[in-house]
Amino acid sequence: MANNPLLEKFTLKDQAAPFDQIKVEHYLPALEEAIKEAKANLEKIKAEKNLTFANTILALEQLSEKLDRAANIYFNLFSAEANEEHQALAQKISPLMSAFSSDVSLDEEVFKKIKFIYDNRQQLGLTGEDLKLTEKMYKDFSRNGALLNPEQKEKLRALDQELSVLSPLFSENCLKAINAFEMYITDSKDLAGLPEGAIEAAAIAAEAKGKKGQWLFNLQAPSLIPFLTYADNRDLREKMWRASSSKNFKDQFDNQEIVLKIVKLSSERANILGFKTYAEYVLEERMAKDSATVFAFLEKLIEPSMKAAKRDLDEVKKFAGTDDIKPWDFSYYSEKLKEQKYAFNEEELRPYFKLENVVEGVFEHARRLFGLTFKPVTDIPVYHPDVKTYEVYEEGTNKYIGLFYTDFFPRETKKSGAWMTSYREQGMWAGEVKRPHASIVCNFTKPTPTKPSLLSYDEVATLFHEMGHALHGLLSQCKYKSLAGTNVYWDFVELPSQIMENWVKEKEGLDVFAKHYETGAPIPPELVEKIKRSAQFQAGWMSLRQLTFGWLDMNWYTTSPSQITDVDAFETKTLERLRLLPKEQGQNMSVSFGHIFGGGYAAGYYSYKWAEVLDADAFEYFKEKGLFNKEIGTKFKNAILSRGGTAHPMDLFKEFRGREPDTAALLKRDGLV
């Protein structure tokens, strides 16, 4: 174990992770050793006779810090920077972690001690976060099998072992399927319609694969999305769309069996714990509370969204001069229609969205709203040359807030999409409250030899979104890490992220950073006006798309698995009423739906829409008082961003807004009423 960087005390500045020293061969030995240490800590807790909050609840909170830290690094890099060797290790590490988790959560003696503190919480005088942590721990143990009989506990342990392997395998297959597809173009005529930046990026990608003079397009977002939006060649658009929408379905990385297994095992797990469905189990710990509420919420939005989406589709058909609109046509004609209606091409915006300027812009928003400053640092090790690091301080006092990592460009070792994560939660570590280490990971348009990274408008919104999550982590002011930062109900966690997107829809927000990368000229008012005028363009279509994901997710986790024998048949039937374009042969969404089968959003995808209601209403408050109103920014920071899960989300929202959220704000913003 000597010289294993994952086991040594992190001695770098603010105990940052020593990424430059960590190798794949370090993970398994480090985790095995850290589990031994955590088990020894567990025995000490079990030996305690005179029970107190400190030697029971707090001791369990601090039980496995070395293990948590090492596993956190492994799983973060599994998504952000993992070669095949790193990925394959998940098949050993996930069951190992699951077994340890079961050893703790199913230990009868340990639960008796937690229950004693919980039952006597008033007599012991527990208040504030001590009380909240005690209640949360009792609930978590109950929800993870502590109240079951020995036979049920063994069954639960077996289910958790199996599930621990399936999610990483699902994600691994998704990444492999994305990397497996390559479309080379040899005739420049087939590039007609494509933006110059997309063509240059494709030429560079082909050259990197030894095909100089050709153009390579793949299924990573910066390649796929411009192709489907702008390429005039309909056959090639179809080829790209079919490859994307059928990945992991009846190919060498087929996820159908994994989906059926995950759904079956999740349902069995919920049943053992006394819940009718897995969704009921999940939703017990959500603002929505139960699946009936979620379905009613989705239904309420489906009708206006469907009406608006039909109008959107009819408008595209009329513009294209044909009823024969296929899925690979919609974005293409939609973009052309937008150009005609608003004299606006999304590509016009890219020159004003140089990545470095947008990053500075989002930092400036954080300064004006929440009083933060970001200082670039170069003496913190990183796991890939693309990664940048910053120290975050409180403006005026220069008080240290935390460490912040950014990782912006796609590569074959990285999952698709965008996410925020942390390498150290804010809260108590080794008996001392520490500041957080947060990170955002994205897949943005890369720079080329002739141009810097010029973002699309959607990529700008994504950066602001992920920054909202990061601010939730960075501004946390909690005592215990289990309650800190983004450790909140999942239908509340998207509020801090989604509200940040609103500032890039406003001239005042865009003026902060949108400058031409060559001339430095600010974004013209008429271009901002076009963004605002086109903000509700195809809003019905986009709303219906999100609702479709949420509807599919809820049906997967509320239907008895005994009624599901075929992934495709189930998806087809479930989405029938929400489909405006006929389903194409080979098209399947479920098999690459990483959020619900490879992430943490099972029975929770509705959260995005739920949080849209919260964010639309919360942003109305800023619009009333001023977009950069310091008083409202401070109120949002103190009521929402700093409090983590120390209070119920509805109480926090009401503390900020003075009342419960109003759905009218969302329908008004999207132009659906």
pTM over 0.85: yes
Helix (H, G, I), strand (E, B) or coil at 247: coil
User: Do 473 and 558 have their domain in common?
Assistant: no
- For residue 671, what pLDDT band results from cuts at 50, 70 and 90? confident
Across the range 502-516, mean pLDDT stands at: 97
User: Do 261 and 279 have their domain in common?
Assistant: yes
In this model, does residue 298 exceed pLDDT 80? yes
In this model, does residue 672 exceed pLDDT 90? no
Which residues, 6+ apart, have CB-to-CB distance to 178 below 8 Å? 218, 219, 220, 247, 416
Across the range 165-177, mean pLDDT stands at: 96
Across the range 26-35, mean pLDDT stands at: 98
By annotation, the residues acting in catalysis are 466
Which CATH number goes with the domain that contains 564? Answer: 1.10.1370.10
Which CATH number goes with the domain that contains 643? Answer: 1.10.1370.40
User: Do 44 and 59 have their domain in common?
Assistant: yes
Q: Has residue 1 been placed in a domain?
A: no
Across the range 458-484, mean pLDDT stands at: 98
Q: Has residue 384 been placed in a domain?
A: yes
Q: Has residue 217 been placed in a domain?
A: yes
Mean pLDDT of the chain: 96
pLDDT value, residue 167: 96
pLDDT value, residue 667: 82
At 514, phi and psi to the nearest 5? -80, 95
**Domains identified in the chain, total number:** 4
Q: Has residue 130 been placed in a domain?
A: yes
In this model, does residue 437 exceed pLDDT 90? yes
User: Do 358 and 324 have their domain in common?
Assistant: no
Q: Has residue 165 been placed in a domain?
A: no
Let me know: does 403 contact 470? Beta carbons within 8 Å: no
Tokens 């999100």 map to which residue?
A: 546
Q: 637-641: long-range contacts at Cβ-Cβ below 8 A with a sequence spacing of 24 or more?
A: 637/369, 637/370, 637/371, 637/475, 640/472, 640/495, 640/496, 641/370, 641/471, 641/472, 641/475, 641/476, 641/496
Supply the range of the domain harboring residue 17. 13-105+107-147
pLDDT value, residue 1: 55
User: Do 502 and 626 have their domain in common?
Assistant: yes
Nearest to 347 by CA among 556, 195, 545: 195
User: Do 19 and 134 have their domain in common?
Assistant: yes
Tokens 């040359």 map to which residue?
A: 385
- For residue 2, what pLDDT band results from cuts at 50, 70 and 90? low
Domain boundary among 605, 639, 656: 605
Which CATH number goes with the domain that contains 58? Answer: 1.20.1050.40
Let me know: does 397 contact 432? Beta carbons within 8 Å: no
User: Do 334 and 359 have their domain in common?
Assistant: no
Q: Has residue 159 been placed in a domain?
A: no
In this predicted model, what pLDDT tens digit does every residue of 185-197 receive, in sequence order? 999 999 999 999 9
Q: Has residue 251 been placed in a domain?
A: no
User: Do 305 and 403 have their domain in common?
Assistant: no
Task: Give CA–CA dist 101/29, Å, rounded.
Answer: 18
User: Do 616 and 582 have their domain in common?
Assistant: no
- For residue 299, what pLDDT band results from cuts at 50, 70 and 90? very high
In this predicted model, what pLDDT tens digit does every residue of 377-406 receive, in sequence order? 999 999 999 999 999 999 999 999 999 999
- Write out the two tokens for 307: 């009406």
Across the range 410-421, mean pLDDT stands at: 96
Q: Has residue 580 been placed in a domain?
A: yes
User: Do 278 and 201 have their domain in common?
Assistant: no
User: Do 84 and 117 have their domain in common?
Assistant: yes
Which residues, 6+ apart, have CB-to-CB distance to 553 below 8 Å? 593, 595, 596, 601, 602, 603, 604, 605, 606
In this model, does residue 15 exceed pLDDT 90? yes
Domain boundary among 147, 172, 200: 147
pLDDT value, residue 29: 97
In this model, does residue 70 exceed pLDDT 90? yes
Across the range 595-624, mean pLDDT stands at: 95
In this predicted model, what pLDDT tens digit does every residue of 213-259 receive, in sequence order? 999 999 999 999 999 999 999 999 999 999 999 999 999 999 999 99
User: Do 576 and 600 have their domain in common?
Assistant: yes
